Amino acid sequence: MHKLSSVDYLEDCTYSRFLENYLKPCIPVLIGKKLTENWESRKTWVRRFEENDELSNVCKERQVPKGLEFLQSKAASQSDLLSDNLWDDLIEASKQYYDNEEEAFKDLLLSPNYEYLKQVYGNVEVPLAYCSQKDKYGSQKRENVQLGTALQKLEKEDEMLRSMCLLESNGFCNLIRMYPKDMHLFRNSPVTIPYETPDLFVDDWLNAYTMNQENDDFRFSYIGSHLSTTPLHKDVYESHSVSVNLCGVKCWIFIPPSEAEFLQKQFEDEGLPSWISQKCLFEEENFRKIQGNVRILFQFPGQTVFVPSGWYHQVLNIGTTLSINHNWCNSSCILPMHFALQQQYEATSESLQDLLDDGIVSKERFSELVTEVVEANYGWSWERFWLMVSFQLQRRLAMDSSRAITLNSSTSIPPLPKCVPPWSWEKSILIQLVKKAECPNGETTQSIPANLLAVLEEIQ
């Protein structure tokens, strides 16, 4: 049987190693828990069942791996989600990360600090997904609730799972598989942000621009109950993501951009599925061709996953998980982001072409309409894309007082972070970017600010 490849695991990682081996080539990587050891949220957002906790005692008596066996028994009926070897693979992976079993089991006894989270963020409205129910479009059913309400439900399910373990019941367990996800807990947060973005991910054009210019952000939190999932997807705008897990274990599957075409072909008739079972990926003949390129990864508490732009991925939560994620971007993925946005504009123009051909709208109105539809479906536009690029260039050039420029009306721009790629490399990407935006006649329809073009011309 073919085995899926794993993702590189680094206990520690310097910026230059990350830049050259993972960020520039867009390769996923898992980084050890030392990277986030000073995070406030690793203390305040989670709690550990103590040694005298009932579950610990039962596990000791029965000599079972604490925290794992009861989760496994409750997953027995979910063969579409889990492969038979998942538990062995998980234990095998933990041996890479921990010196001994005791240490691993200690981490597996972490759970969300429901009381604390309710107290601090209980009033924030969040999207709550029900992973075992579908809406009319076939996506996970979602509703907006206050986080306090969601936490109450999650805590109840957590308790039920643990008490079923105590009763040694192996019967079918009807898990609701709730998943509050994409939660904006840090936008207008009442308390200080409980973490500091590691240097590796701090060169982030997307959050720098949205936080400073749009009063918005791409910083999210996720609280996944046992066996909740995030369906197969690529990240928003073709950005990168970074995920730090605080408790539970996340099982990730990654499919590289080079296999996107294979995936599309494989599911040509019905469209991409929301979930590809591990059984299918591990064992099916059809998938043999890509098995060597598909990667699996178990993310334990404290560990950080870099999810590069353009990779399809899906996530299964084992035990209750709690994570903090950023979508982010910089010169390493700005070209694929540009390409993806261009595709959106092209597809939208094509679908609306009749309106222009039949003289229903003017040429000017047509292009406004295309932008409106792209904004509604995809969430952003050329205007905001180029404003983000300009904002970043302004930060870059502010470092050099002879070049300080003003590209937009903002008065305060945050200083450039400590770890950024060499300017020569970044400059070559920006030049390629502008070339791609130009039509054959040298004009562009992408609302590139004229002063951005002038600055790029000057620095070439």
Ligand X SMILES: O=C(O)CCC(=O)C(=O)O
Interface residues toward ligand X, by CB under 6 A: 222, 224, 230, 235, 241, 243, 250, 307, 313, 315, 323, 325
Integer Cα distance of 229 and 178 in angstroms: 9
345 binds, among ligand X, Fe ion, none (CB under 5 to 8 A by kind): none
Integer Cα distance of 457 and 186 in angstroms: 38
- Using DSSP, how many helices (H) and how many strands (E) does the chain show? 17, 14
Least spacing, CB of residue 326 vs Fe ion, in Å: 11
Q: Which residue is nearest to Fe ion (CB)?
A: 235
Least spacing, CB of residue 271 vs Fe ion, in Å: 18
Q: Return the structure tokens found at 413.
A: 């721009």
Does 157 interact with Fe ion (rule: CB under 5 A)? no
Using alpha carbons, list the distances in angstroms from residue 167 to 1, 161, 170, 277.
Answer: 37, 10, 9, 31
Residue whose entry in the numeric block shows the structure tokens 């009763």? 167
Cβ nearer to ligand X, comparing 243 with 303: 243
DSSP one-letter string for 72-121: HHTTTT-TTT--TTHHHHHHHHHHHH-SSHHHHHHHHTEEE-HHHHHHHH
Least spacing, CB of residue 401 vs ligand X, in Å: 38
Q: Return the structure tokens found at 295.
A: 């990667």
The number of residues that bind Fe ion (CB under 5 A) is 2
Cβ atoms within 10 Å of 400's Cβ, excluding its own: 11
Cβ nearer to ligand X, comparing 318 with 448: 318
Integer Cα distance of 328 and 373 in angstroms: 24
Cβ nearer to ligand X, comparing 229 with 446: 229
Interacting residues with Fe ion between 222 and 241 (CB under 5 A):
235, 241
Cβ atoms within 10 Å of 412's Cβ, excluding its own: 5
238 binds, among ligand X, Fe ion, none (CB under 5 to 8 A by kind): none
Cβ nearer to ligand X, comparing 304 with 348: 304
* x-or-dash string of contact with Fe ion, 236-275, rule CB under 5 A: -----x----------------------------------
Cβ atoms within 10 Å of 151's Cβ, excluding its own: 23
Cβ nearer to Fe ion, comparing 221 with 241: 241
Q: Residue 416: name the closest of 330, 321, 298, 357 by CA.
A: 330
323 binds, among ligand X, Fe ion, none (CB under 5 to 8 A by kind): ligand X
Cβ nearer to ligand X, comparing 208 with 223: 223
For residue 244, the cross-strand partners are 304, 324
338 binds, among Fe ion, ligand X, none (CB under 5 to 8 A by kind): none
Cβ nearer to Fe ion, comparing 301 with 310: 310
Least spacing, CB of residue 112 vs ligand X, in Å: 14
Least spacing, CB of residue 323 vs ligand X, in Å: 5
Integer Cα distance of 423 and 416 in angstroms: 12
Interacting residues with Fe ion between 117 and 146 (CB under 5 A):
none
- Is the Cβ–Cβ distance between 169 and 388 less than 8 Å? no
Cβ nearer to Fe ion, comparing 83 with 241: 241
Least spacing, CB of residue 42 vs Fe ion, in Å: 22
Least spacing, CB of residue 398 vs ligand X, in Å: 31
Site residues (vs Fe ion, CB under 5 A): 235, 241
